[in-house]
Amino acid sequence: MRPLHLLLTALHTTLSLASADPTSPYPDLRSTGDSVDIAPNYVSRPSAILYRTPKNESGILAVYTIKNYQQNKTTLTTSRSMDGGATWTQLGEVYRGDSRVEFVDHGSAVQFPESGKIVVAFERRDSHGVGGLHLETDAYHIAIYESVDGGYLWKELAEIEDVGEKGDRIGGSANLEVWDPHLRLTRNGTLQLFYSTPNELSTADHLGINIRVSVDQGKSWGPPSTVTGNNKAVEGVPKIVEWNDTVYCAFQSKHIHRGDQEPSMKISTHLIRSSDGGYTWHGRQVFMTATGDRDIAFPQLVNVEGSLVSIALTNVPYPKTVGMKNSEVDLSVHISVDNGQTWRGHASGAEGNVGTLVSGLSDPFLLHLGDREMLLLWVNGGTRPGAGMSERYTLTS
């Protein structure tokens, strides 16, 4: 398969960034190998962590959903790589559901270093309808599962729902929407769960980002508190990294303009900071936005030896549609060397900093492997679900 670095694009002329001095030295993102299959088909929302096996071997654990609508199955699945992402072996199933009545997706994992226990959070929705892509949601949940054998066998720890007056949009119930879970393990062993939901800074028609905290490795969870929100936007897909005692949260914000006609949407990516370990947040900034009515969304964020590296999807070269079609998006790369204050689009390939266009790409995930190495995961194909892929990159000077 063609290396993805030939398809990356920085889109200097069409993306508005908080720009650094273009004459100063800047890191460069380069592929160090070909893309490989994690799973051949039906894959949605892959993510990954560095982990240690029960035999104390170092590896990579991937979590993703296999959505086989022909067989009415939706399965949150784990695979592992013991060679840095060059090959993958399927391990176990976190959860198997019936795609006619359930929606399962967006797994996020952490591992406790002392015990080796792995905890996964994922979306689970009770639904009805004709199944597959055409379900109507009755209730939203975030399920918490654990594995103590390295990712083979799993059991449920907890299930999280947000309730409140704003939940009357779901069939008159008090069950609020909960989306895009992201787990973070703090230095002292506290587990933080970030997710998208209506909150005090949003309205019932919009979504912000909340946090819940567990001090018993995911068995029980404290009440929700607000991270960010906007009463004119749908915000979500949070990604969290830490550098020099500052925690950074990147997320997408879909601004909704309402008028006499159908609402229009503009998606941009935002960054906020925390100085107390992720409990209170400040310094909100738009760090990537596309020109005109185009979008840039689904940001990923990693810290690579003090450089913040973010990738995101953009539909700049394509005709505008409401939302972003998977078949009409490019993958862009942006790097900051000054703690997120300024950003520069940058990606190397056969055609330099402006590569060929990407089509059929969705659900990117970026994992820092150590030193200056990263692993990119994504879903290939014009529609999601598709083939789950991975490819290694290095950040060069």
Structural domain boundaries, residue 149:
4-396
Task: Give helix then strand counts, H and E, for the chain.
Answer: 0, 25
The total number of structural domains that make up the chain: 1
Higher pLDDT, 394 or 25: 394
Identify the pLDDT of residue 367. Answer: 97
CATH of the domain at 352: 2.120.10.10
Q: Is 345's pLDDT higher than 50?
A: yes
Under 8 Å between Cβ of 193 and 119:
no
pLDDT reported for residue 9 = 43
- For residue 44, pLDDT over 70 is answered with yes
The pLDDT tens digits for 332-342 are: 888 899 999 98
pLDDT digits (tens, 9 = 90+) for 53-105: 999 999 999 999 998 888 888 999 999 999 999 999 999 999 999 888 888 99
Cα–Cα distance measured from residue 337 to residue 118, given in angstroms and rounded to the nearest whole number: 32
Q: What is the mean pLDDT of the chain?
A: 81
Lowest mean pLDDT: which of 58-67, 162-171, 222-231, 370-379?
162-171
User: In terms of DSSP H, where are the helices of the chain?
Assistant: none
Mean pLDDT calculated for residue range 266-293: 89
The pLDDT tens digits for 102-152 are 889 999 999 999 999 999 999 998 876 655 555 677 788 899 999 999 999
pTM, entire model? 0.87
Rg (C-alpha) for the chain, rounded Å, is: 20
Give residue 324's pLDDT.
63
pLDDT the model gives residue 323: 57
Looking at residue 1, its pLDDT comes to 45
**Tokens 């999601």 — which residue?**
384
- pLDDT, residue 351, reads 28
Nearest residue to 66 (alpha-carbon basis) of 26, 32, 104: 104
- With bands split at pLDDT 50, 70 and 90, how would you rate the model's confidence at 307? very high
DSSP 367: E
**Three-state SS for 30?**
strand
Distance CA 54, CA 152 (A): 11
pLDDT, residue 347, reads: 43
The segment with the largest mean pLDDT, out of 35-49, 149-163, 192-206, 209-223, is 209-223
